[in-house]
Structures are given as structure tokens and as C-alpha cells.
Structure 1
Amino acid sequence: MNDIIAYFSSIPSSHRSLILIGGITIFWLIENTFPLFQMQYRKWQHAGINFFLTFTTILVNFVLAFILIKTANWTTENHFGLLHWLPKIPIWLYTITGLLLLDLIGAYLAHFVQHKIKFLWRFHIVHHTDTWIDTTTANRHHPGESVIRFIFTTLGVLILGSPMWMVFLYQSLSVIFSQFNHANISLPNKLDTLLSYFIISPNMHKVHHHYVLPYTDSNYGNIFSVWDRLFGTFTTLPKEELIYGVDTHMASEENNKLKNLLQIPFQKSRSAKNN
């Protein structure tokens, strides 16, 4: 455990980039070999759009990183936050507790709020417009959403008093798990169901990308599935019934053109998601 802490305390930017690129590469190869759906699309053209939005996410996080670092350092220096107020516990339990709570605030809560507040939904909807869900969809976020998610992550660090090594570990795991649960991979149903009791499995997250309510507003988690089960937002849908996308933007000129995707938050609001 101490080796993990030491590594993530000073993880080079090149290693963080390698985690991102390596994860996409591995899951890209797996989904090509064991696809959940045989999707008829230009995979590289689709990936190009998602890679551009991934780059903007990286850029936003790079520009704002100093805020996150200063926040984590301040909480550590001042012993501020829930993790500092815990009784002395084993380091492995401290780490799991921190990761669970960072996932609650930085992922589940951020995701839930974006579905419930119309202004935030305007940015998050870009992620849901993808009608071909694969591993490249994981970081298909409008730059505005990247800022929103950064704010929630920073809020989580402030509330919890997370040390920077834990933040880097959480972000690395978040990237890998998001690429995994978005990947167009076919797992045995029993294995996927078993995984969904602990983590966000591929089939579990695909339900969130079904194009209509109530499925769109379910399964908000990113790493751990406990929050969806605890807060009653967990649901299932047979994979044979899945239709990807969001019902207000099903035309290809709306969901498969980069220029339009960047403009969606500023366009005239469409009607609410249908039941």
C-alpha cells in the first residue's frame, strides 16, 4: 500500500497520459474481438469526434489543476475534512473510504445533478447524444461539462480533505472504469451481474445510455455501484432492448457533427426527455 501511495504522490504526467491512452487501446482491441453489438458505423470517424472532446477535457483539467492541488494541500496542512476527522484506521481502509466518498461526490453527485438541473443538462446531453456507445464515449464531454465535473471533484477534495496521492489514484481509476463500462464488450450475463454488485459493469452503465426515461435517469455511478443501489437509482434493462442516444437528438446531423455538439448547450432548448 505504501508503494502505491508513493507512486501516486509523484506520478508523472506522462504516466497519467499512458493510463488514458493504454486503457482506450486495450478496451478498443477487446471490443473489436468480443463486441456486445455489431454496430454499423465509421469507427474512426466516430472516435475522432470523441477524441477531440477527450482532448478538451484534458485541457480543462490541465489548466485548472492548480486549484485542485492547492485545495488538497490546504486540507492536508490544516487537517480539514472528513478523512482527517476519522479515528485511526488501517491505510487500506482509509484509502477505500476515501475512494468511495470521492466517487460519491465527484462522480455520482455530479452526474445526478447534471440530470436534474436544466442548465447543466444542456452540457451533459452532449455525452448522451452518442448513438454508438464504445470505449471512446467515456470522455465524450462538452468542455463546459468538464468544468462542471472539475468543480465537483474539487468540492469532494475540500469536503473530504483528500491528499493529492488519493486524488491522482481516484482519477486514474475513474478513467479506466469509465472506459471499461462504456466499452462495447460482451461479458457473460452472470459475470456482468456479479460485477454490478460491486462496480459499474458494462451492461449496467449501458442502461443509462438508453434513449428515453426512466432509464436515462438511472445508474449514475462511475466506479462503485453501491451509490445507485443505496439511493434507489439502480435499474436494469435487457441488452436486446437498448437503443443508444437521447430522444431529443436522434438525427445524425445533431449527434455526429462536432460543430453541432459544441453548440448544443447554447441552442434553443428542446422538450424534456420523453417517458
Structure 2
Amino acid sequence: MSWIETNEAIFRLSVFVAVLAVMLLAEWRRPKRPLTRTRRERWRGNISLTVFNTLTLRLFAPLTAVGTAAWAQAHHVGVFNVLALPEVFAIILTLVLMDLAIWYQHKLFHQWPWLWRLHLVHHADMDIDVTTGARFHTVEIWLSMLIKCLVVMMLGAPVMGVILFETLLSGMAMFNHSNVALPKQVDAWLRRVIVTPDMHRVHHSTRFHECNANYGFNLSCWDRWFGTYVPQPRKGHKGMRIGLAEVSQATDASHILGMLRLPLRWRILQRAYQNNKETQAHEPSHRHIQKPR
């Protein structure tokens, strides 16, 4: 058993802190957009929700994705264990196939109304920065963990592969949600393989066809292959509006209690649904291609 497996918590925490520090510094030195709300106001809610979600998972979740992988390996459950694949090959397949599973899960959370009620908490943030990457409703976090455990069990994913995937998931979420202005050539080169901040920022637009695009968190190929790729926002990165047009109150967008009760705000949900129908009817269905700004 490797050092990473025996020291999973230390490894994941170290990577998390390192990526967070780098992205915070990058946001401070090279911000892409001016913020519409103060960091203190937004971070208080986003970080509080993240801590609350982490504690509920640690205290009440019967099994984590890593624990599921260990159980599947011990009981020879899952495709990789049945086929007895070499560990290196199984780890690579785990990273790729779980990435695809998260992409499809993300798409479903946009398409199914009852899942969108939960996921809109993530999109209600009126700005987007490194803290947005961990801002999710508690019920969505639990559902996501359940889905990951099911995928891990079906694959028979190795423990090392799942640890690396979970570490990659949190690290890339902070990276592609960051408010960082990458040089255009660097962004163009990186997005050939991975999701960049500019690519994912389009997904947080208030425009219907931009919000329902660019679902990837790590590999950028899935959106290209499945026709959900929008290169740039129609109004440019500095002119686009981020968040949800139906959520404008700070209590709904920035306070933990407002975020937790947001899926129950029926008037907001009904108005959002109606606006989406009207926007979908009037907006062209083609993907917007223009030079980045």
C-alpha cells in the first residue's frame, strides 16, 4: 500500500491548500472581472456552506467513494476487479470514466427540474471565484457522493484511482472557477485538453444557452464530442452577467440560510422556469463563436 493510500487525508488536504493558495494569489494579481459584491460578503456564505457540507459528510455519510473502492476490491466487485486489470491501467480508466460520469451527472442536474432546484444554489452566486467551486447545496453533495459510490462500485475502481480522482475533482473545481485572467494563448492551448477558467465561466452566464453548456470540470473533450461546447460568451467575459437573473437578493445568493432554503422558493423557481422557456424560444440554438475578450 502506497504512502498516498495510508495518508489519504493528509495528501488531499495538502493538495487542496496548495491549489487554493495558488489560485487566491493568481486572482489577486491577475483578476479577470471586477467583483460585484465584496469578498467578505460572498466568502462568508460560500465557505460556511462548504464547511457545513464537509462536516455532514464526515459525520453522517455511511461510506465515501474511497471506502466504496476498498470494499469493492475486498469483495471482488466491479468490472476492473472481475477482469483483474493491471492497477496502472485501471487507475487511468478510473480517472477518465469517472470524469465522464461527473460530466453526465452535471448535465442531468441541469435538465431534470427537481435536480436543478438543488443545483441552482451553485449558479446563484453573483460572482465566480475560487470559492464558488465548492458552493453546492447539502442535498446535492449527498446525491453526488451516492452517484460516485455507485460508479466506483460498478467499475471496481482501485483505491488509488479514486483518491487521485477526488483530489483532482476538488483541485480542478477551484482552478476552473477562479477569477483569473490567463493569457489568451495559454487558455487556447490548455482548453484543448482541460477545462480552463474562461471556458467554465461561460457556464455561469445568465443566458440560457450559455448556462446549459460547458459541463466539464476536468477534460474538455466531452463538451466538444457531445455538442455542448460554447467557446466564448456572447457579450464577452467582462460584459457577461453571472448568476441567475431570478436571484438578486444577497440573502438568497450569499448567506448560508438563504442558499439552503433556495430550492424551496417556489416563486423564484416558477419564474426561472418561465424565463428559461421564453429565452429558449427566442435565442438561436447554435453555439456562439467569437474572439475572447
Q: Same-fold call, TM > 0.5?
A: yes
One-letter amino acid of the counterpart of residue 82, structure 1: V
One-letter amino acid of the counterpart of residue 259, structure 1: L
Residue 65 to residue 203, structure 1, CA distance change in 2 (3 Å): farther
User: What TM-score, normalized to structure 2?
Assistant: 0.84
One-letter amino acid of the counterpart of residue 77, structure 2: F
Q: Does 1:9 align with 2:16?
A: no
Query: What is the match of residue 177 of structure 1?
Result: 172
Structure 2, gaps ≥5 residues long: 280-293
- Alignment counterpart, residue 219 of structure 2, candidates 205, 217, 224: 224
How many residues align structurally?
269
- Alignment counterpart, residue 203 of structure 2, candidates 203, 208, 233: 208
Query: What is the match of residue 288 of structure 2?
Result: none
Q: Does 1:257 align with 2:244?
A: no
Q: Does 1:76 align with 2:73?
A: yes
C-alpha contact 2:66 2:163 (8 A) present in aligned 1: no
C-alpha contact 2:33 2:238 (8 A) present in aligned 1: no
Runs of 4+ more than 6 Å apart: none
User: What TM-score, normalized to structure 1?
Assistant: 0.89
Per mean C-alpha deviation after superposition, the further-off stretch among 71-80 and 26-35 is 71-80
Superposed CA deviations along residues 53-107 of structure 1, whole A, max 9, x for unmatched, are 111231233232635345312321343323335585682x4322210111111x2
3-state SS of 1:236 partner: coil
Q: Does 1:124 align with 2:119?
A: yes
One-letter amino acid of the counterpart of residue 12, structure 2: R
C-alpha contact 1:60 1:146 (8 A) present in aligned 2: no
Per mean C-alpha deviation after superposition, the further-off stretch among 20-29 and 123-132 is 20-29
Instruction: Provide the rounded CA distance (Å) in 1 between the counterparts of 2:30 and 2:22.
Output: 12
3-state SS of 2:241 partner: coil
Query: What is the match of residue 26 of structure 2?
Result: 30
Percent identical across equivalent pairs?
Answer: 27
Q: Does 1:42 align with 2:38?
A: yes
Q: Does 1:111 align with 2:106?
A: yes
C-alpha contact 1:54 1:140 (8 A) present in aligned 2: yes
Query: What is the match of residue 241 of structure 2?
Result: 243
Residue 47 to residue 84, structure 1, CA distance change in 2 (3 Å): same
Q: Does 1:160 align with 2:129?
A: no
Cα RMSD for the two superposed structures = 2.1
- Alignment counterpart, residue 95 of structure 1, candidates 86, 91, 98: 91
Residue 256 to residue 60, structure 1, CA distance change in 2 (3 Å): same
Structure 1, gaps ≥5 residues long: none
C-alpha contact 1:8 1:169 (8 A) present in aligned 2: no
One-letter amino acid of the counterpart of residue 159, structure 1: M
